[in-house]
Structure 1
Amino acid sequence: MTSVDIVVIGGGQAGLATAHTAMRRGLRPLVLDASARPGGSWPSYYDSLTLFSPARFSALPGMPFPGDPERYPLRDEVVGYLTAYTARLDAEIRFGCRVERVTAEGGVHTITMADGSVARAPLVVAASGGFGSPARPALPGLDSFRGRVLHAARYRNPDGFAGERVVVVGGGNSAVQIAVELARTATVSLTTRGPLRFQAQRVLGRDFHWWLTRTGLDTAWLGPRLAPNTVPVIDDGRYRAAIRAGRPDHRPMFERLDGDRVVWSDGASERVDVVLLATGYRPDLPYLADSGGLDAHGRPAHAGGLSTTVPGLGFVGLERQRSLASATLRGVGRDAVHVLDGLVSRRGRRAVARMTR
């Protein structure tokens, strides 16, 4: 049995930012991560993934992103950065440690791991992201489709797709980036329910994120009803040009899948080899099923990352948790500060220390 001030579940960007913030507030964190190595979900993303924000806006608290601050880091650079950040963080981090269950009694949380080990802490922060829970929309005919169905979480590169007919579902940054990449070797259609929204990567000589930071929009809480349902595709001009050239083409959402065929909204039908779902993720929180921290739909019950149902429970890294940047490298640090300060103020620093001594 291990007793600490706070258990952080997840060792990716959200978990690291939370552990750093906890230590700055005099708390002893224990970070538990199911992965075998540092980097969170980043090593599992597709090979060509490139950040849409410059390095200067893509750092966790306490450690700038190295190199040219105006460049757009590649996936492997982010993995290297998170690995170095992990090594610098003077906290206990256990890799290959999957959390199975979190329960609370008497103001103390009991965290049970898959290997049978147990930790206890008055504070718990769920920072496990959503990569382990890809969103699969209820599309007509998808479950009986005879071709290959692949989520973006399992896509790595165009190898193995040459000459195939591919339909990419989704209109976000990853959907467009993957569709354009695949279209170099395959016949690809990008399909969405609404129009694609593009945002110029640079405006008046400045990166788009510089303007977001300057105006305060990057940290503004828009509220769930005011936040747009889709995010714009950050584009330096290449993606819009590729789609205008039909590589890939962009079509309205299909009517249905029928066997190994897709039926488009105009009634046309054709054979398809692959349906690739770039449809996002849901919070990956199965370990909270018995905690009381999830609502009837399995979603975290929270206000700005602080649980509204379980004292001492917080969340960091949720999509639009407090702002449009909440699930990004540039946003998790701010949310970690908000959540840690809220948790400590509710419990009291001395009370937290007393529970673990």
Structure 2
Amino acid sequence: MSTHTASLIVIGGGQAGLATARVARDMGLAPIVLEAANRAEGSWPHYYDSLTLFSPAGRSGLPGAAFPGDPDRYPTRDEVVEYLAGYARRLDADVRTGHRVERVSAPDGREFRVAVSGGEELTAPLVVAATGAFSRPHRPALAGLDTFDGTVLHSSDYRRPEPLAGKRVVIVGGGNSAVQIAIELAAVADVTLATRHPLRFMPQRIAGRDVHIWFQRTGLDTAGWAKPLLTGGKGTPVMDTGTYRDAIATGNPDRRPMFTRLDGDQVVWDDGTREHVDVVLLATGYRPGVDYLAGLGALDDDGLPRQRGGVSTTHPGLAYVGLEWQRSFASATLRGVGADARHVLTRLLKQPRPDGKKPARAAN
């Protein structure tokens, strides 16, 4: 088994990991980035074809590299993939693709040992888990789902509408992705959005400016009271220019209260009526893909990181970047990961080491 030592190991080479590596270099560290895939593009290549960012290009760049093109436009999935690939190529850091992390341990309580598939092992006093919030699709425990006779898909499986043409589709979920997929599918299929609460539309632009700009200017992005304001109440907020609300208002697709159960190839609605359904598509989000930390004792009973503002509450030297609402509304987005990376690295470098030493820094 080969062993290498680094000043910082970043797990994940998507937007969160790349941003962390850039900030780390700026702070004098020499990070090693470990990415399981063969390219450092994160989850973006696996999203549906028509996906566009919910924030404008001018607010979607990673540290040190503005997103190209009109700053007011909303970049497509493929544009984001191209941007990330270029960012990784130009990044002055050791980015190792094809390196899947299997586990992280801390046997001596001083340094972390990171075991990679293939037998390689790396050690470092600092580890940032940057595999983000979109690597583990969440499949809720819905009554009858496991015995449903039709097709069950997660939004992570969806690419384009044509394979579902002519089908009766029920989409579970009410966020932006759920609504965008539903409207796209409704052109070729019979589609219903099933949600526990009515949809809550929020304007994408206010006074001619994207709402994300206002979030930043007003401090709403990082205000402690912002999360209950934006996520509280009944209904997941949906950013909308007016297109989504108008489409739902026509009934194509329609929105109904959540069904009570699935039975065979039928859905049973809350009023007791039944109908045949071909496909149940779960637009029910993701959970952090940090199973490699399970043996370390850094996760709670639900497999979620024990952290505050991205800094581990269980292990000095361990932090996270890319978790939803880690520090702000934007924490899991392109525009938010850079600020969070600087926040957690600043705090890691101030933490006392168990051996009394300071983290090693790269030569400037």
Counterpart-to-counterpart distance in 1, 2:38 and 2:229: 39
One-letter amino acid of the counterpart of residue 317, structure 2: G
SS in 1 for 2:156: helix
Question: Aligned match of 1:274 in 266, 273, 279?
Answer: 279
Is 1:155 the counterpart of 2:158? The answer is yes
In the TM superposition, what are the counterparts of 1:155-234 in structure 2 within 5 Å?
A: 155-222=158-225, 228-229=231-232, 231-234=236-239
Counterpart-to-counterpart distance in 2, 1:130 and 1:77: 21
CA contact (8 A) 2:220 2:226 kept: no
Counterpart-to-counterpart distance in 2, 1:211 and 1:131: 26
How far 1:296 moved relative to its partner?
Answer: 2.3
How far 1:133 moved relative to its partner?
Answer: 1.0
Match of 2:117 in 1: 114
One-letter amino acid of the counterpart of residue 127, structure 1: A
CA contact (8 A) 1:131 1:153 kept: no
SS in 1 for 2:191: strand
CA contact (8 A) 1:111 1:120 kept: yes
How far 1:350 moved relative to its partner?
Answer: 5.7
Consecutive unaligned residues of structure 2, counting only runs of 5 or more, are: none
Match of 1:46 in 2: 48
CA contact (8 A) 2:7 2:124 kept: yes
CA contact (8 A) 2:203 2:241 kept: yes
One-letter amino acid of the counterpart of residue 86, structure 1: A
For residues 2-47 of structure 1, what are the alpha-carbon distances to aligned partners after superposition, in whole Å with 9 as ceiling and x for unaligned? Answer: 1100000000010011111111111110000111112110011100
SS in 2 for 1:331: helix
Counterpart-to-counterpart distance in 1, 2:225 and 2:117: 38
Q: What is the root-mean-square deviation of aligned Cα atoms in Å?
A: 1.5
How far 1:130 moved relative to its partner?
Answer: 3.2
Counterpart-to-counterpart distance in 2, 1:19 and 1:276: 36
Match of 1:243 in 2: 248
Question: Aligned match of 1:79 in 69, 78, 81?
Answer: 81
Match of 1:313 in 2: 318
CA contact (8 A) 2:154 2:283 kept: yes
Counterpart-to-counterpart distance in 1, 2:213 and 2:78: 24
CA contact (8 A) 2:349 2:358 kept: no
TM-score (norm 1): 0.96
SS in 2 for 1:242: helix
Match of 2:128 in 1: 125
Counterpart-to-counterpart distance in 2, 1:314 and 1:347: 14
How far 1:209 moved relative to its partner?
Answer: 1.3
CA contact (8 A) 1:107 1:311 kept: no
TM-score (norm 2): 0.94
Counterpart-to-counterpart distance in 2, 1:299 and 1:223: 22
How far 1:107 moved relative to its partner?
Answer: 1.2
Match of 2:298 in 1: 293
For residues 72-104 of structure 1, what are the alpha-carbon distances to aligned partners after superposition, in whole Å with 9 as ceiling and x for unaligned? Answer: 100001111111111111100111111000001
CA contact (8 A) 1:199 1:232 kept: yes
Counterpart-to-counterpart distance in 1, 2:227 and 2:203: 25
Consecutive unaligned residues of structure 1, counting only runs of 5 or more, are: none
